[in-house]
């Protein structure tokens, strides 16, 4: 009996270790730490920023970084504004836009994808034609067009980014719903008198959340880059709101004389997107074993 119990415990241990290993994976730890750091910086921005990000000090224009403990740790820009304060406040805007875009586009895309795949027929045809029409436009060009028509503003920027970013959710969820609607538990629920809305909410949506979570993680990185791109082109948020893209746009003419102006906002975009992609890659390996790739490490 003891040997049988020992053998059972030995058989269970590798399974437990294999389930916990991805959670301790370097990609998940590194990506999660980076994302968590920027979230904390964004939330505590007013407390962490040494000064007002829009405060101009013309006597201290384009001062280089002065190191920790000084008045301007990362230097000042062409109007004497503190670069560190603007980077911190820029994190708030970028993360707010990213989370809002992912939440709204996920809500729309998952809902339409589940309805399209579950009902099929004419409903599926209409929704997929809508997907094809919207998907035909280049994302950045569509965003510029919407912002040029609606004007600058945080809400308009989120709307411009959501218009096309719900499509990946819709297409993936539709494919899963087409498969799930013929499964035994769905057919049994239908035979027991469950309504279509109840079946979608109780059986279809819980089975597509994991894949949608992975899509949302990568979509967050894409939203940060898109927001920075639109702000860099001058069609994002108003100029008085500091963002990483706006800082890059203001620094492009000083790139040869004031290297710190484009370096720090560009580095923030790079590190944030890298952290989100690492976290999304780890979540994909953990939540969808079918997509797990060979090899490990960063």
Evaluate whether residue 69 is within a structural domain. Answer: no
Residue 268: inside a domain, yes or no? yes
Among residues 223, 232, 237, 224, the alpha carbon closest in space to that of 150 is found at 237
Residue 263 structure tokens:
């370096």
Does 110 map to a domain?
Answer: yes
* pLDDT tens readout for residues 46-88: 888 888 888 888 777 888 888 776 778 888 888 888 888 999 9
Tally of residues, the chain: 298
pLDDT over 80 at 123, yes or no: yes
Instruction: Assess if residue 122 is contained within a domain.
Output: yes
- How far is Cα 233 from Cα 246, in angstroms, rounded to an integer? 8
Residue 95 has a CB neighbour count (10 Å cut-off) of 22
Residue 40 covered by a domain: yes
Domain region containing 150:
25-47+83-289
For 158-181, the pLDDT digits (tens) are 999 999 899 999 999 998 888 888
Q: Is residue 195 part of a domain?
A: yes
DSSP single-letter state for residue 157: H
239 in a structural domain: yes
Please tell me the total count of domains within the chain: 1
**Residue 121: which CATH number?**
1.10.3720.10
State mean pLDDT over 15-43.
Answer: 73
Residue 242 falls within a domain, yes or no?
yes
């Amino acid at each position: 009996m003891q040997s049988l119990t020992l053998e059972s415990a030995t058989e269970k241990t590798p399974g437990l270790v294999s389930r916990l290993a991805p959670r301790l994976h370097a990609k998940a730890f590194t990506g999660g730490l980076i994302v968590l750091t920027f979230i904390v910086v964004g939330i505590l921005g007013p407390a962490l920023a040494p000064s007002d990000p829009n405060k101009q000090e013309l006597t201290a224009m384009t001062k280089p970084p002065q190191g920790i403990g000084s008045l301007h740790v990362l230097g000042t820009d062409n109007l004497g504004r503190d670069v560190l304060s603007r980077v911190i406040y820029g994190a708030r805007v970028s993360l707010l836009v990213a989370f809002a875009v992912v939440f709204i586009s996920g809500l729309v895309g998952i809902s339409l994808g589940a309805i399209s795949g579950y009902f099929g027929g004419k409903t599926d045809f209409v929704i997929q034609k809508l997907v094809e029409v919207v998907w035909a436009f280049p994302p950045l060009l569509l965003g510029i067009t919407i912002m040029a028509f609606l004007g600058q503003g945080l809400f308009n920027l989120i709307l411009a980014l959501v218009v096309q970013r719900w499509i990946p959710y819709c297409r993936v969820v539709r494919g899963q719903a087409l498969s799930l609607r013929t499964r035994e538990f769905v057919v049994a629920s239908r035979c027991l008198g469950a309504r279509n809305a109840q079946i979608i909410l109780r059986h279809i949506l819980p089975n597509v959340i994991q894949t949608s979570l992975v899509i949302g993680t990568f979509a967050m990185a894409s939203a940060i880059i898109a927001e920075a791109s639109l702000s860099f082109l001058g069609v994002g948020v108003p100029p008085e709101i500091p963002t990483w893209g706006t800082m890059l746009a203001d620094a492009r003419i000083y790139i040869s004389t004031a290297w710190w102006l484009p370096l720090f906002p560009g580095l923030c975009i790079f590190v944030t997107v890298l952290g989100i992609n690492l976290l999304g890659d780890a979540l994909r390996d953990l939540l969808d074993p079918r997509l797990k790739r060979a090899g490990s490490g960063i």
